[in-house]
Structure 1
Amino acid sequence: MSDAPEAERRQISAARRKARHYAVQALYQWAVSGTALSAIEQQFREDFDFRGTDLEYFQSLLHGVPAQVSDLEELFAPYLDIPLAKLGPVERAVLRIATFELSERIDMPYRVVLNEAIALTKKFGAAESHRFVNGVLDKVARELRETEINRPR
């Protein structure tokens, strides 16, 4: 019986992982093409298999990140070692999503947010850019989740 909650937790984690996977691609498309979010969402729902995906989480990222994009960039831009305009579109999408999760999804442990962002950057970003993203997000997490980070384990 004790395995049921663990199995459910893993299923939820996998569903959110898929939601982030699609959200990075959708927000990349939004950033580089300027296509309306509703059109991107419709295209993704037609073109991709969303079974096993937390659709609500995908939608919250797809619509929440653009709604706060300036505020999110203000949170991570001070930690960039390059101008924001020179940041690659994949890395920018990942940083936006992770910063959104760190600031808006307090239910999501900061370690999960960072690990997922690193995995997405490894998959979609430039070679070794995951190290850069990790460094930036570590600083953002220290700012936004100081209490959680400093809590004894």
Structure 2
Amino acid sequence: MTTTSSPSARRKARRFALQALYQWQLAGHPVHEIEAQFRAQNDMKKVDLQYFHDLLQGVSERREELDGLIAPALDRKVQELSQVEKVILRLGAFELLARLDVPYRVVINEGIELAKLFGADDSFKYVNGVLDKVARQCRQVEIVAR
């Protein structure tokens, strides 16, 4: 199976990663089992499989670090976020921290789009504000260069 790495393939990888990480947060099953289930039960032909894998592993392995990065940008505790917001913010924080190949504006925009698709009515505004603050912390050099 070949891995596609177009922007739309990464967008699909993010959507599946959000769903898989949501399941991981709620059920607590090992991430590798959830990944295998997603690969078996979904049409993954046009998905960047490596990116999907990297997001699942990165967010699950670095959850505490990501929560620590997100926490100062929140108006409440990480535990008080909705499950969807928590996944979106962890995904975005991971990409801002570990995926320097993805421009910070793309990370923020993808988080907004995920929140519009899966979150509550105005959660995209909250996600935008939080990820913008996290980007200022993680990507200062890139932001100043713009």
Measured against the shorter chain, the TM-score band is: over 0.9
Between the aligned residues of both structures, percent identity stands at: 50
Read off the aligned partner of 1:119 and give its amino acid letter: E
Q: Secondary structure at the match of 2:6?
A: helix
Give the drift of 1:19.
0.3
CA distance in 2, matches of 1:29, 1:83: 21
CA distance in 2, matches of 1:25, 1:111: 22
The 10-residue stretch of structure 1 (18-27 or 30-39) with the greater mean CA deviation from structure 2? 30-39
Backbone CA RMSD of aligned residues: 0.9
Residues 1:76 and 2:70 aligned together: yes
Number of the residue aligned with 2:45: 51
Number of the residue aligned with 1:119: 113
Q: How does 1:1-150 map to 2 (within 5 A)?
A: 12-150=6-144
TM-score, normalized by length of structure 2?
0.94
CA distance in 2, matches of 1:67, 1:148: 25
Structure 1 stretches of 4+ moved >6 Å: none
Structure 2 unaligned segments of length 5 or more: list them: none
Give the drift of 1:85.
1.2
Give the drift of 1:42.
1.4
Structure 1 unaligned segments of length 5 or more: list them: 1-10
Structure number with larger C-alpha Rg: 1
Number of equivalenced pairs: 142
